[in-house]
Structure 1
Amino acid sequence: MRGLAPEAGAPRAALGVCAAALVVVVLIGLSQPDPAAKTTAMAVYVTGLASALLTLRWRLRRTPPATPDHQLWANLGRALVAGVLAVVVIVVGNATGGAGTWVPPTLASLMLLGVALNYLGVIRWTSPTEHRARVDPDHLVNAVCCALVLVAGALLAASAWTGDQRLLHDSRFPLLVQAACSLVEAAVMAGTTRGWARRGDLRPVVLTAALLAGMGINLTLLVVRDPSGLLPWALLPHGVWAAALALCALLPQVAHPRDRHDVAVSSTSGFAVVVLALPVAAVAAQRGLGVVAVLATAALLGSATRLLLDVRELRQVLLERRASLVDDLTSLSSRRGIHAVLERALSEQRPLVVAVLDLNRFKDVNDALGHAAGDQLLRTVAARLRSLLLPGEVAGRLGGDEFVVVAPCCSPTTPQERAAELGAAITCQLSAPAPLGALVVQVEASTGTSTWQPPSSPAAPEDDDGDAGSLAARLLRAADAAMYDAKRSGGGWVPHDAARHDDTAGQLALATDLRAALVTGQLLLHHQPQVRADSGTPVGVEALVRWQHPRLGLLGPECFLDLAETHGLMGLLTEEVLRLGVAQQGAWRRDGLLTRLSLNLPASALHDLDLPRRVDALLLEHGVPGSSLVLEVTESVLLRDPERSRTVVQALRGSGVRVSIDDFGTGHSSLARLQGLAVDELKLDATFTGELLVDERSRTIVAGTVAMAHALGLSVVAEGVEDDATLGALRELGCDEAQGYFVARPMPAAQLPVWWRERGGPIGCLPAAGAEGDGSTGRSLVHEH
């Protein structure tokens, strides 16, 4: 036989014996057998069963233990043993004269036992890996109940048709049970193994065909044979099944993905059994068919119990789903709950406002006070959001420190009006100090809003063409984009503007490219020289980052710095710029250029206590002294967390690194407050130098700033010098250094040595790193002057 296991010589012979036994039983049945021939047929039949059992045992010994296939063959073998016991019952019944009393019910019970054992094998065969060692009761219970109700219904119909109420003890009763069991087994076998034949596994096909053939034989015997002539034909269905099992044991074993059984299957079949069993039990009880009523009632109780278990599972699922819609920490709606609220409101065609807000500097609270304080702050924010809600509005937590408000609007309020109200209310409420135990912290938030009106509205958006789910996602993305715009602006509320915020796909692709650029060396630095205001002698350069994009060409910092901040790449970007800048400084030193390099740091850098160590390591690696490095930061960064900033600044200056305050005058500080920060340099913002010649107030501010900075021991660098007159005015006011397009435009590192030597910049040998203090600069990566 092609396709069978090549090493199965003895099992093939056993399969041949089983098939031959079936042929002999058929021939005996066709010869109108006498009692002696029937006995011979039963002996041959037992020989065939024994041969099939030997084949199954051979397969069992070659199947690894604790696998679904091992459980399959073990239980199918036990089912065959139940068949052998059935033959013993027939022999004993014929010998003792009990063939019409206790033999039919006993045979039926053994057949039901065989069904249960077959199911234990099949269910474990098709169960997922994590359920191999357990029995899924759904199909087993439903199979037995289906068989019981089919038998009870058939007995009821037969008794009504023939008027005979003793069919339970008739020799046709086991045939009826076997037909019902075969039908149910074939249905479940086909349902649980659908698609296996396409993967080359013919075993379920063979077993299903054997079950259907056995059912056909049983039904034929019930219709065309009289009770006295059933043997040996009654042996055939079980014999066909045994031969099919022996054949399957020799077929190749095919691995399959294990699928969980769908509870809907057990629930549907259980409900069908209840519907059928109720009238059968009632009619059987009315006609005095006690055993039939008991069978139907057993099926009814079994399926009802299974349905109750399903209801309990469904209730648990509903509870878990409800819990998944609520955030555990704040008791607001979860992300899933917010999506459900949004989709429901959109399906009702109600005008909507979606507000997404993110807490500013929440990480600082977690880092400084611990996660317990952070959780308390989140609960405080949740309580404040609830106080802002109107009836029908819902607040939720999207995750971390990000919250959302969904506000359906009622006439006459328009979504735009409600968005403005919400934005102002959230900004006001969350700006109030929040008590955290013995401490009080200032809470601020960045809020973005998006709005939606039904298509019938005159102001309906043009892109309102998706279903509720996709539209809900677009509204959240729009509010999120506006929120990040507000965060970049320092907080507050920003409404969604399609012209500014709707390049989501392009920005996401660019962010992916930027992440790759940081590890493939696509970033580079251009350098803008700085000169002494009095003599024009070069004293240093400011490094400005560029991105050599493989497709878009050379990109300036304005194209990707906000993107890096939004997608959490600013830390990696800062490390790469520091590495490139210090490495270039080391190369210039080796060529004899006595440059001073300024580098910009983002807002979060001076809150990183490990920054000084990493800067020291870079300086040491490239042989650069700290005094030739300046790190530039904005004044708002220094004043946001003064204690931590002071610690980092002192550690940097201890290594010789200079610290400069960039864009000075655009924040909310004063020189008096800056006195305690121990910085080295101020950089005047270009808004002051650009108005120096035309605005006397600007000239007065610059003069006062220079005088007070010198009094505090700070040097002053003016940005944005565009002409010689402005440079002369700065020189008159005592400004120390200047940079801008009048001095030089940013240039690649390779061009700087020529420019430096032409302008008389200092050249010579610098002391080795460590001979003097380290230095690091923080120039803005965005602005160039």
Structure 2
Amino acid sequence: MKTIWWRYLIAGVVVSAGVFSMPVGLGRDLVYCLIGASGTVAIVIGVRRHGPPHRRGWHLMAAGNAAWVLGDAIYAWFEHGLLVSPFPSVADVAYLAAYPMLAGGLLILVRSRGPENGLAAVLDSAILTVGLALVSWVFLLEPTWTGGGAPILDRIVAVAYPVGDVLLFAVLMRVVTARRDATIASLLLTGSLVAVIITDSLFVASTWVAVIDAHAQVLDLGWLAAYVLWGAAALHPSMRGLSVRAPTQVATSEKGRLAALAGSAAIVPGVLAVEVITKTPLHVWAIIIAASAFIVLFGARMLRMVGQLEHQSAQLSTLAGTDYLTGLANRRQIVDHLAWLLDSHHGAEMLVINVERFNEINDVLGDRAGEAILQAVGARLETLVGTGAMVARVADHRFGVLDPSLASAQDAEGDAARIHRALELPFDLPELNVSVEVSAAVLVLPQDASEPAQALHRADIALAAARRRPGRVARYQAKMESGGALALLLIGELADALRHGDLVLHYQPQVDLRSARVFAVEALVRWQHPKYGLLGPGAFIPAAEQSGLIGPLTQYVLDRALAQNARWHRDGLDLTVAVNLSARNLLDPHLVDHVSAALGRHGLDAGTLELEITESSAMVDPRRCIQVLTRLATMGVTLSVDDYGTGHSSLAYLQRLPVTRLKIDQSFVTNMVSDQPSAAIVRSTIELARNLHLDVVAEGVENDETLLALRDMHCPGVQGYGLGRPVPPPQVPELITRIESRIPEILRSHRPSAPSRHDQSAPFDIHPHTEPVIAFKQSAR
């Protein structure tokens, strides 16, 4: 059913071509009228089949086609029935009646499409129509009106045809300039109008052009083509779209339209040139009128174009300053506003808020949920700030607030704390309920910064400081311009540091209290920066995780640590080396292959490597982490949970992890001698590990009292500054010798005391804990 239009088109073309093989007579005229009638019937069938919203336009065009067919039939009857060809006649009434009906039908379709750059389209069609009208007047209308001395009625009817063609041309230009999407139906409809206009113009010109008059019968092919094309356009399914309201679009300049307008501007000098060359009388008044109309229309069109360009410029400016995801201002806009505030010496509060561990959120929940979270954070921020404040998304998961209504520095810090608390409340999203952790940096302008680049720079420094504070809010201070906070700003240098070997490893021993011997060392990375000296891991590890460099950094540390351990083994020092893994490492599908390749490269057994993970990192994606850790454990790698007690994991997951060791966090161990709750936590953890058949290492052993207390609790392993600080590789053998000679003396000189009733491990219950929200938080240490 969908192919009926092209079948009709092909049949119409074939039959129309066959008309010229028939002898002139009534039979030929009958076939001619049948082809015209088929066009009218095709329009009616197309309207019934496709049901366009505005049928009146198509019905008017069907009536116009029928009027032409009626004119053809009357003309044939006069010519072959009465053997006369009167002019004018009733046939001319039918012919001329078709023009307004066809034009009216097309205008209905154009108007049903909506404005669609309406004024520009009207001006463009008017300019093109004026050009055709000038040509028609000079070469068709005026010669027809003044030539031959015919009666007034004959001349009126004769010039009515070119006038009708100009009307159809004007509507055609309105159709063409109003549409942006060229469909099959629109192309067929345009083709039929072009065929009518060209054929009519040639027929009128045949009155005084002998060559055209000699081949006038060939012009029938043009009219027949118009019938067939109009019918095929109505039968095509896309005809329905010609009367459907067009979607709103941003006006754009089109090369074809501008080229047509430029050609129209050349019509006046072109007509003058032709009349001068052919030495015919100049049509001065017609040219003056047309030129005046061109000036007015082109002026209006240029004003319209300038208005469109200004509108587009405003839209582009808005888009350039808007974040595509949240609809907030973007970094460019807030920097411009910041520059204006600083230039005008206007006081303001500047907050920079970072959504922590956002990459992990994306990894666990997916990009779609991550985008929804950013949108929710931005929307909540807008409700938390004053009406005169600007909220912007300044980076991937970082937001900025500029509030010129600042009262005092104390108020700024209070605002930051209030906003921080509000942003950590759960977000009720369509598919999940989630809470996030944020850090906030505060600047008071212009005291804390005098230019935009400096303000953003210092906001980064304050953010680094905020991450290390329990409340995760910090106002910039000059003393922050050192150490780890500054190193975060230099994270762009980390890739070069990895290539150049500027990262070094220090090693801290781990002692087995049962044998009083050093059984392992933990590899701790340092950055030997050429400008800022030796930087600790807190300066760059968090930023490396956020920037995506944690993978290459871990591979670097792993390779260096195993290479050093291989050298120690060759020297007769039997040690296990421990390397820390982050959450992103556990989500790396190639981690196991990297570990296996590094062990093989340095000729070490898997048992000589210990990989430390944190509770929180293992809980990011428990299913995937368990799979990765199981493969590592199967290889023979020792796995331990670092900083145990500070995360949010459940014991059910801990039991499923293929780990063999727990490392109790130093925050509990350091003060356990003087703090009973800390001592209870350490004692319970040791008992829990024993029941789960896990080994234990207590971190943060700062003195002999703590060491002896751990001994009395039967803690198998210890680590801390009281035993030995992290040292470079050459100092490790000497440090091990010193530890192994000192520890036995301490243990012998202080025998274990009899356990009191307070030292007994009290039984405890583990209750299942169901969180109402998904929490992405880490402890501030």
- Give the TM-score normalised by structure 2: 0.52
In the alignment, does 2:412 pair up with 1:432? no
Letter in 1 for 2:436: V
In structure 2, what is the Cα distance between the partners aligned to 1:742 and 1:422? 39
- The aligned residue for residue 481 of structure 1 is 461
- The aligned residue for residue 623 of structure 1 is 603
- Give the deviation of 1:384 after TM superposition: 1.9
Provide the identity percentage.
37
Letter in 1 for 2:422: C
What is the aligned counterpart of 1:717 among 673, 677, 697? 697
Indicate if the aligned counterparts of 2:351 and 2:442 stay in contact, CA closer than 8 A: yes
Indicate if the aligned counterparts of 1:385 and 1:426 stay in contact, CA closer than 8 A: no
What is the aligned counterpart of 1:335 among 317, 331, 334? 331
In structure 2, what is the Cα distance between the partners aligned to 1:450 and 1:724? 45
Q: What's the secondary structure of 2:332's corresponding residue? A: helix
What is the aligned counterpart of 1:605 among 585, 596, 599? 585
What is the aligned counterpart of 1:525 among 505, 516, 529? 505
Indicate if the aligned counterparts of 2:528 and 2:534 stay in contact, CA closer than 8 A: yes
CA, structure 1 residues 690+757, in 2 after alignment: closer, same or farther (shift >3 Å)?
A: closer
- The aligned residue for residue 585 of structure 1 is 565
CA, structure 1 residues 532+594, in 2 after alignment: closer, same or farther (shift >3 Å)?
A: same
- Give the deviation of 1:588 after TM superposition: 2.9
Superposed CA deviations along residues 436-459 of structure 1, whole A, max 9, x for unmatched, are 43x333333222222226xxxxxx
Superposed CA deviations along residues 689-730 of structure 1, whole A, max 9, x for unmatched, are 433444444444332221121111111112233444433332
- Give the deviation of 1:357 after TM superposition: 1.7
Superposed CA deviations along residues 228-258 of structure 1, whole A, max 9, x for unmatched, are xxxxxxxxxxxxxxxxxxxxxxxxxxxxxxx
- The aligned residue for residue 769 of structure 1 is none
- The aligned residue for residue 401 of structure 1 is 397
Superposed CA deviations along residues 349-397 of structure 1, whole A, max 9, x for unmatched, are 5432222222233323433443333333322222222222322222222
Letter in 1 for 2:445: W
Segment drifting more, 607-616 vs 663-672: 663-672
What is the aligned counterpart of 1:312 among 287, 308, 311? 308
Q: What's the secondary structure of 1:392's corresponding residue? A: coil
- The aligned residue for residue 360 of structure 2 is 364
Indicate if the aligned counterparts of 1:355 and 1:448 stay in contact, CA closer than 8 A: yes
Indicate if the aligned counterparts of 1:607 and 1:644 stay in contact, CA closer than 8 A: yes
CA, structure 1 residues 603+423, in 2 after alignment: closer, same or farther (shift >3 Å)?
A: farther
- The aligned residue for residue 318 of structure 2 is 322
What is the aligned counterpart of 2:411 among 407, 417, 421? 417
Indicate if the aligned counterparts of 2:488 and 2:540 stay in contact, CA closer than 8 A: no
In the alignment, does 2:442 pair up with 1:446? no
In structure 2, what is the Cα distance between the partners aligned to 1:675 and 1:578? 27
Q: What's the secondary structure of 1:604's corresponding residue? A: helix
In the alignment, does 2:707 pair up with 1:707? no
- Give the deviation of 1:618 after TM superposition: 1.5
Q: What's the secondary structure of 1:691's corresponding residue? A: coil
Indicate if the aligned counterparts of 2:355 and 2:438 stay in contact, CA closer than 8 A: yes
Indicate if the aligned counterparts of 1:444 and 1:491 stay in contact, CA closer than 8 A: no
Indicate if the aligned counterparts of 2:388 and 2:404 stay in contact, CA closer than 8 A: yes
What is the aligned counterpart of 2:709 among 704, 716, 729? 729
Indicate if the aligned counterparts of 1:353 and 1:406 stay in contact, CA closer than 8 A: yes
- The aligned residue for residue 120 of structure 1 is none
CA, structure 1 residues 738+507, in 2 after alignment: closer, same or farther (shift >3 Å)?
A: closer
In the alignment, does 2:563 pair up with 1:596? no
In structure 2, what is the Cα distance between the partners aligned to 1:710 and 1:546? 34
Indicate if the aligned counterparts of 1:545 and 1:577 stay in contact, CA closer than 8 A: yes
In the alignment, does 2:369 pair up with 1:373? yes
In structure 1, what is the Cα distance between the partners aligned to 2:364 and 2:653? 23
- Give the deviation of 1:505 after TM superposition: 11
Q: What's the secondary structure of 1:341's corresponding residue? A: helix
CA, structure 1 residues 635+547, in 2 after alignment: closer, same or farther (shift >3 Å)?
A: same
- Give the deviation of 1:660 after TM superposition: 1.7
- The aligned residue for residue 392 of structure 1 is 388
Superposed CA deviations along residues 615-667 of structure 1, whole A, max 9, x for unmatched, are 12212222222222111233333344444433333332222222222233344
| Number of aligned residue pairs | 460
- Give the deviation of 1:301 after TM superposition: 8.1
Superposed CA deviations along residues 398-452 of structure 1, whole A, max 9, x for unmatched, are 2322222222216xx4354144234423432443133243x33333322222222
Indicate if the aligned counterparts of 1:689 and 1:721 stay in contact, CA closer than 8 A: yes
Segment drifting more, 486-495 vs 569-578: 486-495
Q: What's the secondary structure of 1:573's corresponding residue? A: helix
Indicate if the aligned counterparts of 2:448 and 2:476 stay in contact, CA closer than 8 A: no
CA, structure 1 residues 556+399, in 2 after alignment: closer, same or farther (shift >3 Å)?
A: closer
Letter in 2 for 1:312: Q
CA, structure 1 residues 499+290, in 2 after alignment: closer, same or farther (shift >3 Å)?
A: farther
Gaps of 5+ in 1: 1-288, 454-460, 465-470, 762-781
Indicate if the aligned counterparts of 2:461 and 2:486 stay in contact, CA closer than 8 A: no
CA, structure 1 residues 368+394, in 2 after alignment: closer, same or farther (shift >3 Å)?
A: same
CA, structure 1 residues 758+340, in 2 after alignment: closer, same or farther (shift >3 Å)?
A: closer
In structure 1, what is the Cα distance between the partners aligned to 2:426 and 2:414? 19
Q: Give 1:666-681 correspondences, 5 Å limit.
A: 666-667=646-647, 674-681=654-661
In structure 2, what is the Cα distance between the partners aligned to 1:368 and 1:658? 26
Indicate if the aligned counterparts of 2:426 and 2:433 stay in contact, CA closer than 8 A: no
In structure 1, what is the Cα distance between the partners aligned to 2:486 and 2:674? 42
- Give the deviation of 1:321 after TM superposition: 1.0
Segment drifting more, 697-706 vs 530-539: 697-706
Indicate if the aligned counterparts of 1:626 and 1:655 stay in contact, CA closer than 8 A: yes
- Give the deviation of 1:597 after TM superposition: 1.0
In structure 1, what is the Cα distance between the partners aligned to 2:485 and 2:657? 43
Indicate if the aligned counterparts of 1:427 and 1:492 stay in contact, CA closer than 8 A: no
Q: What's the secondary structure of 1:482's corresponding residue? A: helix
Letter in 2 for 1:406: L
CA, structure 1 residues 693+503, in 2 after alignment: closer, same or farther (shift >3 Å)?
A: closer
In structure 1, what is the Cα distance between the partners aligned to 2:482 and 2:672? 39
- Give the TM-score normalised by structure 1: 0.52
In the alignment, does 2:655 pair up with 1:662? no
Letter in 2 for 1:434: D
Indicate if the aligned counterparts of 1:394 and 1:405 stay in contact, CA closer than 8 A: yes
- Give the deviation of 1:568 after TM superposition: 5.0
In the alignment, does 2:624 pair up with 1:647? no
In structure 2, what is the Cα distance between the partners aligned to 1:324 and 1:475? 22
Letter in 1 for 2:576: R
Q: What's the secondary structure of 2:564's corresponding residue? A: helix
Q: What's the secondary structure of 1:517's corresponding residue? A: helix
Superposed CA deviations along residues 543-566 of structure 1, whole A, max 9, x for unmatched, are 122334456555544554456457
In structure 2, what is the Cα distance between the partners aligned to 1:552 and 1:503? 7
Indicate if the aligned counterparts of 2:488 and 2:539 stay in contact, CA closer than 8 A: no
In structure 1, what is the Cα distance between the partners aligned to 2:470 and 2:717? 30
Indicate if the aligned counterparts of 2:506 and 2:523 stay in contact, CA closer than 8 A: yes
In structure 1, what is the Cα distance between the partners aligned to 2:439 and 2:584? 17
Q: Give 1:33-72 correspondences, 5 Å limit.
A: none
